[in-house]
């Protein structure tokens, strides 16, 4: 299972937003919705061996985590609006520290980055960062956990949590700063070509 964790520092934690304003009052939920598309959508199918965690740290009550599991996902379409509706449904639930199912393959809980890393014991983290070691020199595996920022870079506190993980690589996909969803596409493409 390949895991992606994307952090949305200002993304809303409640489902009251309008689907007509996904890039405005939501704190740039649209960026994370494009990450959902990149993580799962293939031409005519879905990547079943991928999971994605969206860490929402905006108002009014952060943190909230959305977990999308490729193995179970249903009703996922390529457009941002319908994916936005799935996330909105999940955020309408009253999240607590136990995962609750919203729709098939989509779960919600009140968890932060450190909480979710505790679920990954024994696995390797690949922290995607422009200034990391070149991906050309790294042997990425389909069991890695890729962590990246959404619209903004990780904070120093988040970087510290990752750097304290027993098995972490800091990897650059290239010298140019990319959008988060494009980073996911590039990483998956490298995995596709190495397997």
Ligand X SMILES: C[S@@+](CC[C@H](N)C(=O)[O-])C[C@H]1O[C@@H](n2cnc3c(N)ncnc32)[C@H](O)[C@@H]1O
Site for ligand X contains 180 (CB under 6 A): yes
Residue 184 binds ligand X (CB under 6 A): no
Residue from the set 39, 76, 86, 148 that interacts with ligand X by CB under 6 A: 148
Task: Provide the minimum distance between the beta carbon of 53 and ligand X in the complex, in angstroms, as a whole number.
Answer: 14
Q: Nearest approach, Cβ of 94 to ligand X (angstroms)? A: 30
Site membership for ligand X, residue 33 (CB under 6 A)? no
Alpha helix (H) ranges present in the chain?
29-40, 80-92, 113-117, 156-163, 180-194
CB 11 within 8 A of CB 28: yes
Closer to ligand X by Cβ: residue 47 or 151: 151
**Segment interacting with ligand X (CB under 6 A) among 35-43, 77-85, 95-103, 145-153:** 145-153
167 in contact with ligand X (CB under 6 A): no
Strands 145-149 and 2-8: parallel
Query: Rounded to an integer, what distance in angstroms lies between the CA atom of residue 54 and that of residue 33?
Result: 9
The DSSP bridge partners found for residue 148 are 6
Q: How far apart are CA 140 and CA 183, in angstroms?
A: 14
Which residue's structure tokens are 């700063």? 177
At its nearest, how many Å lie between ligand X and the CB of residue 31?
A: 8
DSSP, res 135: G
Task: Decide whether 82 or 163 has the Cβ nearer to ligand X.
Answer: 163
CB of 86 to ligand X, least distance (A): 22
Residue indicated by tokens 């010298």: 175
* Min CB(63)–ligand X separation in Å: 18
Q: Which residue is nearest to ligand X (CB)?
A: 149
# residues contacting ligand X (CB under 6 A): 16
Burial of 16 (0-12, 13-18, 19+ CB in 10 A): exposed
- Residues forming the site for ligand X (CB under 6 A): 128-130, 148-149, 152-153, 172-174, 176-180, 183
């Amino acid at each position: 299972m390949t895991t992606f964790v994307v952090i949305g520092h200002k993304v809303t934690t409640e489902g009251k937003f309008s689907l007509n304003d996904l890039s405005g009052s939501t704190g740039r939920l649209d960026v994370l919705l494009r990450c959902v598309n990149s993580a799962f959508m293939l031409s005519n199918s879905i990547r079943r061996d991928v999971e994605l965690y969206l860490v929402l740290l905006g108002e009014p009550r952060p943190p909230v985590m959305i977990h999308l599991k490729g193995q179970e996902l249903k009703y996922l379409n390529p457009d941002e609006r319908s994916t936005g509706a799935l996330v909105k449904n999940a955020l309408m639930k009253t999240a607590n520290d136990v995962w609750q199912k919203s729709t098939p393959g989509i779960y919600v809980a009140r968890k932060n980055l450190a909480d979710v890393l505790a679920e990954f014991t024994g696995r390797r983290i690949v922290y995607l960062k422009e200034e990391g070691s070149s991906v050309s020199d790294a042997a990425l595996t389909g069991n890695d956990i890729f962590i990246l920022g959404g619209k903004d870079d990780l904070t120093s506190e988040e970087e510290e949590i990752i750097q304290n993980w027993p098995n972490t690589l800091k990897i650059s996909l290239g010298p140019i700063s990319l959008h988060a969803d494009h980073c996911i596409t590039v990483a998956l493409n490298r995995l596709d070509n190495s397997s």
